[in-house]
Each structure stands twice: as structure tokens, then as C-alpha cells.
């Protein structure tokens, strides 16, 4: 509970109508896409960096936790106000401030929805690649704070590869700018990239400048169907080894295929071991040549069928299966946990074999999808958060997944962040000394530990 004096001060800063304390309001800001809700004490919706600065100064004075929030689609618990305090949704700050078509950059506010931004730039023949599954609701600020990726990561990287500058309110309330609108910039420390992926623990992002690409002239899609997941994974390795970089290279396993077909039949063969959904993009002359190369490699690796989309509608139909995957799994069991371990690309077949074996060992229901072109594997764990015995097995499975990924020189997270769910594993990947270096930076910028406390670092 916050003192009345603090609530009054909050109301003075953001306006009375933008502060919420009733339980029915707080519950809306107590969860994200993970099964670990916790209620804040208050919610305050600011509309400017200046007001956020005032809130952070107040929070430092009173030692109150503050948790910045976008659309709450976080998959690692990063948005949960685990220590209560004030949740700070940035959804009122949702404008495009500048779209500099001649410089190929845009500057936006953090509350802007990613898909709205992409529609706007694509209408002008420009391209902003990051494409997390949540793109229709996720905010630009959230995707920057989590370094969101998606299927296009294989060719286009993740959010960090596009962010060139930020306006940030530091935990202690100072408003600063980092980076800028230029392509090259090496002036002082790269605070921009320290903030990207920092999960809202080092500052509240209030403006984002991103670079844009020219929209590729053409894109084509194919779907390759394999009898075994090993064959599909080996086809991925063959494509990368042949120096072909598809725009997306998505893998779905047999379990995922069967749930997708049970939910909304899209015509995938239920006896297939796995399928690869592949987009190639580039110039109009190049793309058909690329697609032919990719299809041929899939066939060489044992694909029993390669379906090629000839129109945008056919391409959308092929993508439908991938898009409904989460909903399809969610019908099966009450709780879905999507993990995010990532390995170097050639080790994808080995990692998937090990993960499948671990699922059998701990008797855990898992449907696998992978952004296979970049080694990013999403085990979709179907379980019931109310069943302690099952959740114990799920935890053992997750631990095994991370241990395996790290043994293969991979990472705990390709695009979901560490948040709450993976904080205890952080030293497994980095070692105590690197974690301590991160903590020293956190303490240097947030001496009172008020900004999104309890995240990233182990307890």
C-alpha cells in the first residue's frame, strides 16, 4: 500500500484520471504472458518524459518500485510488478514523431503498437523487420526493452540491429538522449544498446529512433514436409551451409502439426514428422532463383513434398498454421510456457533431439517450433500451473533444456529475455563474475533499486 501523500503526488503529476488503485483496475496490470501474476499498489499512466522523471524522483525519495509496461505480452515475467509499487504503462505515448523517408529512419514513442508502425512504413515502401508473434499488440517500447526478434531474425537480426537512438529517463530521473539519427556513431559509451534488452531495469524509454530498410521488391514462400524432424533440421543446416539466407526459416514438429490440424485444419499431413516454412525475399529477379535453390535443398534432404505459394493469398495460407500454433496448443492444456533456448545454427538438429529426449524423460507435453534459421527453439510446454507435481517435472525439463543449450554454446534466451522465469539460471550462462559486472552497472544507474526490481538477476 502506498501512502495517501504518494498517491496524491502521483495524481498531481499525471492527472487524477490517470492513476488507478482499485483492485479491479490493478488486476489488469498484474500479469503478462507468464503464469506468475502479482498486483501493483498503483498504476500511473504518464504522457511525457517530464512526468515520468517526476514519478521516478518521487519513487527514489520513497523507495517505491516502478515497473514500466507496454502491452504486457512478455514471455519471461519481465512485466510483473513482483514487489508491488507503481506500474507505469506507456500506452498513452503512442505517436510516430518523425518518419524521415530520405534518411531511412523513424522516431516513435514507446506505446506505439509494432504492427501499426509496420503498416505505416510499409505503405511508404519501407521496412522494419522485427516480427515477434505478439506484433499486433506489442508496443515498440516493449520490443526494444526485450530486444524482440521473430521469424525474420534469420536474415534481419533482432530489434537491437535497428535501434539507433533513444530518449530515456534514467532510474534517478534524469532525461537523456543516446545515439541519434546517423548510421555511424561512436561517441562515448553505447548507452543505446545497453538499454535495448535491459528489460526496463536501467531506464524508462520515452523515444525510439530506428533505422528502416527499403521494402524488398519480392517475397515468396514454400512449405517443405518431412517424415522426420531430423531430416527437417538437417535441411536447415544444409541451407545455411550453402550460404543461402532465407528471410524466415520456421520449423514445426509433429506435435505442433497435430494440434494445429485439430484446432483449425490447414491441410498439413498429420503423419508428417515436421515441416519447414520458408520465406525468401529480395529483388524480383533474384527471389524465384533463391526459392528454387531452397526447394531443391529440401528435396535433397528428404522432403516428401514442397508446396510453393504462387500468390500472397497462398503464402498467407501456408503461414496460417504457424500463426495459430500458440492458440492450438493453448486449447489442449490450461497453461502454456514457451521457452526460448537458442544454439549456434549447425547445432539445431542436435539440440532438438536432446530436447525431445528430455521431454520424454520428464514426461512433459511439448510441441516444438523453431526460428530454425537462427537456431532459436521454442518448446511450447503444455501443462497446468495448478498441478505442483507436473510443474516440478516441467521445471526439471526446462533446466535440462537450458543446460543442453549452454553446453552447445547457446543462450538462455534468443528473444524473450530473462525476466523472472530465468533469473536463477543467469549465472549458468555468464558466470558469477559477469553477473556481478552487470549488477555493478545496475547499482551505478539505479542506486535505490527502484526500477523493475527483482528481474534478470538471481534472488
Among 36, 83, 335, 429, binds a copy of itself (CB under 8 A): 429
What's the distance, CA 209 to chain centroid? 19
CA within 13 Å, CB half, 343: 25
Least distance (Å) between residue 156 CB and a copy of itself: 10
Q: Which of these ranges, 33-41, 55-63, 256-264, 404-412, lies near a copy of itself under the rule CB under 8 A?
A: 404-412
Q: Which of these ranges, 67-75, 213-221, 268-276, 295-303, lies near a copy of itself under the rule CB under 8 A?
A: 213-221
Closest CA to 341 of 379, 372, 373: 379
- Our finding on whether 371 is near a copy of itself (CB under 8 A) is yes
Residue nearer to a copy of itself on the CB measure, 111 or 165: 165
Task: Please state, in angstroms and rounded to a whole number, the distance separating the CA atoms of residues 223 and 273.
Answer: 13
Least distance (Å) between residue 268 CB and a copy of itself: 26
- Our finding on whether 435 is near a copy of itself (CB under 8 A) is yes
Touching a copy of itself, residues 21-80 (CB under 8 A): none
- Our finding on whether 189 is near a copy of itself (CB under 8 A) is yes
Among 68, 84, 149, 151, binds a copy of itself (CB under 8 A): 149
- Long-range contacts from 37-40, C-beta under 8 angstroms, 24+ separation: 37/80, 38/80, 38/81, 38/82, 38/83, 38/84, 39/81, 39/84, 40/67, 40/81, 40/84, 40/85, 40/86, 40/87
Task: Please state, in angstroms and rounded to a whole number, the distance separating the CA atoms of residues 155 and 69.
Answer: 29
Q: Which of these ranges, 35-43, 174-182, 254-262, 355-363, lies near a copy of itself under the rule CB under 8 A?
A: 174-182
Residue pair 165/180 in contact (Cβ under 8 Å)? The answer is yes
Least distance (Å) between residue 3 CB and a copy of itself: 29
Q: How many residues bind a copy of itself (CB under 8 A)?
A: 92
- Our finding on whether 133 is near a copy of itself (CB under 8 A) is no
- Our finding on whether 267 is near a copy of itself (CB under 8 A) is no
CA-to-CA separations, 387 to 34, 384, 399, in angstroms, rounded? 16, 6, 18
- Our finding on whether 185 is near a copy of itself (CB under 8 A) is yes
CA within 13 Å, CB half, 139: 26
Task: Please state, in angstroms and rounded to a whole number, the distance separating the CA atoms of residues 163 and 166.
Answer: 8
Among 375, 379, 453, 454, binds a copy of itself (CB under 8 A): 375
- Our finding on whether 184 is near a copy of itself (CB under 8 A) is yes
Cell output for 326: 500458440
Residue nearer to a copy of itself on the CB measure, 194 or 385: 194
Residue pair 326/338 in contact (Cβ under 8 Å)? The answer is yes
Q: Which of these ranges, 26-34, 284-292, 300-308, 316-324, lies near a copy of itself under the rule CB under 8 A?
A: 284-292
- Our finding on whether 178 is near a copy of itself (CB under 8 A) is yes
H or E element at residue 448: none
Among 7, 13, 80, 196, binds a copy of itself (CB under 8 A): 196
Touching a copy of itself, residues 288-347 (CB under 8 A): 289, 342-346
Task: Please state, in angstroms and rounded to a whole number, the distance separating the CA atoms of residues 323 and 318.
Answer: 10
Cell output for 219: 517475397
Backbone phi and psi for residue 285, each to the nearest 5 degrees, phi listed first: -75, -30
Least distance (Å) between residue 192 CB and a copy of itself: 8
Among 9, 57, 193, 353, binds a copy of itself (CB under 8 A): 193
Task: Please state, in angstroms and rounded to a whole number, the distance separating the CA atoms of residues 19 and 12.
Answer: 10
Q: Which of these ranges, 14-22, 181-189, 320-328, 384-392, lies near a copy of itself under the rule CB under 8 A?
A: 181-189
Task: Please state, in angstroms and rounded to a whole number, the distance separating the CA atoms of residues 151 and 374.
Answer: 9
Closest CA to 22 of 30, 32, 12: 30
Task: Please state, in angstroms and rounded to a whole number, the distance separating the CA atoms of residues 279 and 131.
Answer: 13
- Our finding on whether 154 is near a copy of itself (CB under 8 A) is yes
Site string for a copy of itself, 95-114 (x = CB under 8 A): -----xxxxxx---------
Residue nearer to a copy of itself on the CB measure, 375 or 454: 375
- Our finding on whether 180 is near a copy of itself (CB under 8 A) is yes
Q: Which of these ranges, 42-50, 56-64, 393-401, 409-417, lies near a copy of itself under the rule CB under 8 A?
A: 409-417
Amino acid at each position: 500500500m502506498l501512502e495517501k501523500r504518494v498517491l496524491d503526488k502521483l495524481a498531481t503529476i499525471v492527472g487524477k484520471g490517470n492513476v488507478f488503485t482499485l483492485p479491479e483496475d490493478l488486476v489488469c496490470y498484474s500479469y503478462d504472458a507468464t503464469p506468475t501474476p502479482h498486483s501493483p499498489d498503483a498504476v500511473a499512466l504518464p504522457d511525457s518524459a517530464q512526468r515520468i522523471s517526476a514519478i521516478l524522483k518521487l519513487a527514489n525519495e520513497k523507495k517505491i518500485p516502478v515497473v514500466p509496461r507496454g502491452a504486457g505480452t512478455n514471455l519471461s515475467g519481465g512485466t510483473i510488478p513482483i514487489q508491488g509499487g507503481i506500474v507505469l504503462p506507456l500506452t498513452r505515448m503512442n505517436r510516430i514523431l518523425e518518419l524521415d523517408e530520405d534518411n531511412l529512419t523513424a522516431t516513435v514513442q514507446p506505446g506505439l503498437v509494432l504492427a501499426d508502425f509496420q503498416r505505416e512504413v510499409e505503405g511508404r515502401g519501407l521496412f522494419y523487420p522485427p516480427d515477434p508473434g505478439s506484433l499486433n499488440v506489442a508496443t515498440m517500447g516493449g520490443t526494444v526493452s526485450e530486444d524482440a526478434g521473430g521469424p525474420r531474425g534469420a536474415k534481419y537480426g533482432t530489434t537491437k540491429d535497428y535501434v539507433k537512438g533513444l530518449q530515456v529517463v534514467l532510474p534517478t530521473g534524469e532525461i537523456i538522449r543516446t545515439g541519434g539519427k546517423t548510421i555511424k556513431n561512436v561517441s562515448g559509451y553505447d548507452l543505446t544498446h545497453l538499454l535495448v534488452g535491459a528489460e526496463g531495469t536501467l531506464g524508462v524509454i520515452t523515444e525510439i529512433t530506428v533505422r528502416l530498410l527499403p521494402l524488398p521488391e519480392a517475397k515468396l514462400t514454400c512449405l517443405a514436409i518431412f517424415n522426420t524432424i531430423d531430416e527437417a533440421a538437417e535441411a536447415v543446416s544444409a541451407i545455411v551451409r550453402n550460404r543461402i539466407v532465407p528471410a524466415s526459416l520456421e520449423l514445426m514438429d509433429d506435435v505442433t502439426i497435430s494440434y494445429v490440424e485439430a484446432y483449425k485444419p490447414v491441410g498439413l499431413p498429420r503423419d508428417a514428422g515436421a515441416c519447414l516454412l520458408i520465406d525468401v525475399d529480395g529483388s524480383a529477379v533474384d527471389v524465384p532463383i533463391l526459392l528454387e535453390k531452397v526447394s531443391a535443398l529440401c528435396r535433397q534432404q528428404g522432403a516428401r513434398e514442397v508446396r510453393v505459394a504462387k500468390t500472397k493469398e497462398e503464402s498467407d495460407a501456408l503461414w496460417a498454421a504457424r500463426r495459430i500454433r500458440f492458440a492450438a496448443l493453448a486449447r489442449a492444456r490450461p497453461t502454456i510456457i514457451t521457452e526460448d533456448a537458442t544454439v549456434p545454427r549447425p547445432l539445431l538438429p542436435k539440440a532438438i533431439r536432446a530436447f525431445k529426449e528430455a521431454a520424454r524423460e520428464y514426461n512433459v507435453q511439448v510441441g516444438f517450433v523453431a526460428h530454425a534459421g537462427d537456431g532459436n527453439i521454442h518448446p511450447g510446454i503444455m501443462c497446468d500451473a495448478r498441478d505442483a507435481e507436473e510443474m516440478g517435472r516441467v521445471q526439471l525439463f526446462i533446466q535440462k533444456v537450458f543446460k543442453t543449450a549452454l553446453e552447445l554454446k547457446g543462450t538462455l534466451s534468443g528473444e524473450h529475455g530473462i525476466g523472472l522465469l530465468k533469473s536463477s539460471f543467469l549465472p549458468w550462462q555468464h558466470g558469477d563474475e559477469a553477473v556481478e559486472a552487470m549488477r555493478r552497472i545496475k547499482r551505478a544507474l539505479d542506486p535505490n533499486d527502484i526500477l523493475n526490481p527483482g528481474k534478470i538477476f538471481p534472488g
